Amino acid sequence: MPRTNLNDILIFMAVVDAGSFIAGGQAMGLSRSAAGKAVIRLEERLGARLLNRTTRTLGLTDEGRVFYERGLQILASVDEAEASVGGQSGMPRGVLRLTLPDAFGRLVILPLLEKYLRTWPDIQVEMSFTDRLADIIEEGFDLAIRIGAAASDSRLASRVIATYRTRLFASPSYLAARGEPRDIDDLAAHDCLIFTSRNQRQGWRFRGKGSSWIKAQGRSRLRLDSGEAIRDAARAGLGIALLPDFLIAGDLAAGHLRQVLPELEADDTKIVTLYPDKRLLEPRIHRFIDLLVEALGQERSGARSSP
């Protein structure tokens, strides 16, 4: 059976990325008609429809989605092969695909992209803002940024890029209505806003005497899977929240939130990058991690490996 024309695969992927035959064709230096014919050839060769076409929209079929994801893996392998020849000092190019927490991504990471894109003009970036823990390899991401999560998957490497203080906060209205807790035991009588994801709840613990850790026994009537939503709930007077500095700086200065039990020392919030564990890391990933470390602080100990 003759091999599929690889250029047809690239045209198909360009059409999907652009969302239309016109833009996808232009990205490949082709007309709309030529791009359409290339996709039709590919579908006929595979014996499956890859795209659902209407006069207004263009969408992937289930078969098309699987084929597109495999195409991403092929392109990643090509990039890795080039990196193995050119070394990590090679010129970054291609598409950097990121998954990152919603609030941290928009507040901290998004402002850093201007420098990255300006420095490396051959780079494109696709970002997925979500507090859901995506499967990096299965979903085709180059890099994930996680809050407080090291690599538990043997296929992944990790690197700590920043550390933020984490403290308890509540709104003045909540404290006026419910009273201010005097010690850690008083949290049991308060509504605590807890982060939860995939049925796993965040535990609150604080350093006690002799550097031992004490778990707080707070009541939780409202649980959320978004750090920004927890902050907003605290601002609305719905309870006490355990939040990192980067998320509350503006609210603290404006008086929307007040620190609670400032003498309690909580775990620091570590910001971690996770990426497929490879002998050589593609320049686009390597340079982006370098930028994060430079902008957000020194790398801390405990990372499994560094690029």
Q: Please tell me whether residues 170 and 159 are part of one structural domain.
A: no
The 3-state DSSP class for residue 287 equals helix
Structure tokens, 284:
């686009």
Which band of pLDDT confidence, cut at 50, 70 and 90, is reported for residue 209?
A: low
Domain carrying residue 157: 87-164+270-296
- How confident is the model over 8-41, as pLDDT tens digits? 998 998 999 888 899 889 988 899 999 999 999 9
Q: Please tell me whether residues 193 and 283 are part of one structural domain.
A: no
pLDDT at position 302 is 36
pLDDT at position 93 is 84
Dihedral, 247, 250, 255, 257 alpha carbons, nearest 10? 0
Q: Count CB atoms within 10 A of the CB of residue 43.
A: 19
Which band of pLDDT confidence, cut at 50, 70 and 90, is reported for residue 303?
A: very low
Strands 205-207 and 213-215: antiparallel
Give buried/exposed letters for 97-134 (b at 16+ CB in 10 A, else e).
Answer: bbbbbbbbbeebbeeebeebeeebeebebebeeebebe
- How confident is the model over 119-158, as pLDDT tens digits? 999 899 999 998 777 888 778 888 999 887 665 667 788 8
Q: Count CB atoms within 10 A of the CB of residue 3.
A: 6
Residue located via tokens 């979500």: 130
- Confirm whether 232 is domain-assigned: yes
- How confident is the model over 225-242, as pLDDT tens digits? 788 899 999 999 999 999
- Domain of residue 38, CATH code: 1.10.10.10
CA geometry: angle 6, 9, 10, nearest 5 deg: 90
pLDDT at position 162 is 87
Dihedral, 15, 18, 21, 24 alpha carbons, nearest 10? -70
Q: Is the pTM of this model over 0.75?
A: no
Q: Please tell me whether residues 263 and 275 are part of one structural domain.
A: no
The CA-to-CA distance between both ends of the chain, in Å, stands at 41
Q: Please tell me whether residues 133 and 282 are part of one structural domain.
A: yes
- Confirm whether 62 is domain-assigned: yes
Element containing residue 269 per DSSP (H, E): strand 269-276
147 has which bridge partners? Answer: 271
In degrees and rounded to multiples of 5, residue 198 shows phi and psi of: 50, 45
Q: Please tell me whether residues 174 and 219 are part of one structural domain.
A: yes
The 3-state DSSP class for residue 50 equals coil
- Confirm whether 301 is domain-assigned: no
Q: Count CB atoms within 10 A of the CB of residue 268.
A: 14
- Confirm whether 76 is domain-assigned: no
Cβ contact 169:260 at 8 Å: yes
- How confident is the model over 48-92, as pLDDT tens digits? 999 998 877 888 999 999 998 888 877 777 766 665 555 455 688
Q: Please tell me whether residues 260 and 188 are part of one structural domain.
A: yes
Q: Please tell me whether residues 170 and 215 are part of one structural domain.
A: yes
pLDDT at position 261 is 93
Q: Please tell me whether residues 91 and 22 are part of one structural domain.
A: no
Q: Please tell me whether residues 117 and 95 are part of one structural domain.
A: yes
Count helices and strands in the chain by DSSP H and E runs: 10, 16
Instruction: Please state, in angstroms and as integers, the Cα–Cα distance from residue 293 to each residue in 160, 163, 279, following that order.
Output: 8, 11, 20
- Confirm whether 198 is domain-assigned: yes
Cβ contact 257:251 at 8 Å: yes
Q: Please tell me whether residues 180 and 241 are part of one structural domain.
A: yes
* pLDDT greater than 70 at residue 47: yes
State what percent of residues in the chain have pLDDT above 90: 35
- Confirm whether 78 is domain-assigned: no
Structure tokens, 307:
């690029």
Q: Please tell me whether residues 209 and 62 are part of one structural domain.
A: no
124 has which bridge partners? Answer: 95
**How many angstroms separate the CA atoms of 12 and 50, rounded?**
9
Cβ contact 72:65 at 8 Å: no
pLDDT at position 300 is 40
- Confirm whether 1 is domain-assigned: no
Number of domains making up the chain: 3
- Confirm whether 239 is domain-assigned: yes
Q: Please tell me whether residues 112 and 38 are part of one structural domain.
A: no
Domain termination residue (choose one: 39, 68, 97): 68
Strands 205-207 and 123-129: unpaired
Which band of pLDDT confidence, cut at 50, 70 and 90, is reported for residue 282?
A: confident
* pLDDT greater than 80 at residue 277: no
pLDDT at position 306 is 40
Between residues 16 and 199, which one has the greater pLDDT?
A: 16
Structure tokens, 155:
């296929």
Residue located via tokens 């990255």: 116
Between residues 291 and 300, which one has the greater pLDDT?
A: 291
Instruction: Please state, in angstroms and as integers, the Cα–Cα distance from residue 72 to each residue in 9, 65, 255, 285, following that order.
Output: 11, 11, 47, 15
- Domain of residue 224, CATH code: 3.40.190.10
